Structure 1
């Protein structure tokens, strides 16, 4: 994936079935780097939510924001089902985008 601006909705997890975070960005690579580096204080740095487990690319920002709001309203199980449908092992998809695997301290597996 190139370092270009493209609207994207993404889901981060602290580990398999762990804490989830849903966000929207115009630059997924930069945003993942920000989350992983904990350069911005907030939810993901506080709860070690750094594993990219799902993302959806869009042509324009308005539909991406609409999708983010929709996903944030979903029940937790629906979000888990969405992740399991395309990423049943909850692999860190950021590795395929050029990021190094997370250190063992940055992943938490659930049940």
Structure 2
């Protein structure tokens, strides 16, 4: 079983970071507002990136780290720009 950290773009342009063990089901929940969350009032949402981990703890740690990042740093991660990530400081989970 794999665990995932993921980043969504909401209809208002904001980002949402979460983790799950079933990315397809979790995306369906976000899109249908089946679970009341930050995204349920900002539909539709778009999955921008997900990354897999071996354990739930690793995915949760990555989620917490991403949530603490600035928008600019999240966008560098989305672009795979590791030089910019380093420049913006704080260590990455890669």
Q: How does 1:54-93 map to 2 (within 5 A)?
A: 54-85=49-80
Relative contact order, CA 8 A, sep 6+: which one is greater? Answer: 1
Q: What stretches of structure 1 move > 6 A for 4+ residues in a row?
A: none
Alpha-carbon distance between aligned partners in 2 of 1:49 and 1:85, rounded to the nearest angstrom: 25
What is the TM-score of this pair, normalised by structure 2?
0.77
What do you get for the CA RMSD once the two structures are aligned?
Answer: 1.9
Q: 1:13 aligns with which of 9, 17, 34?
A: 9
TM-score with structure 1 length normalisation? 0.66
Report the number of matched residues: 81
**Structure 2 residue ranges without an equivalent (≥5):** 82-94
Structure 1 segments unaligned to the other structure (5+ residues): 87-111
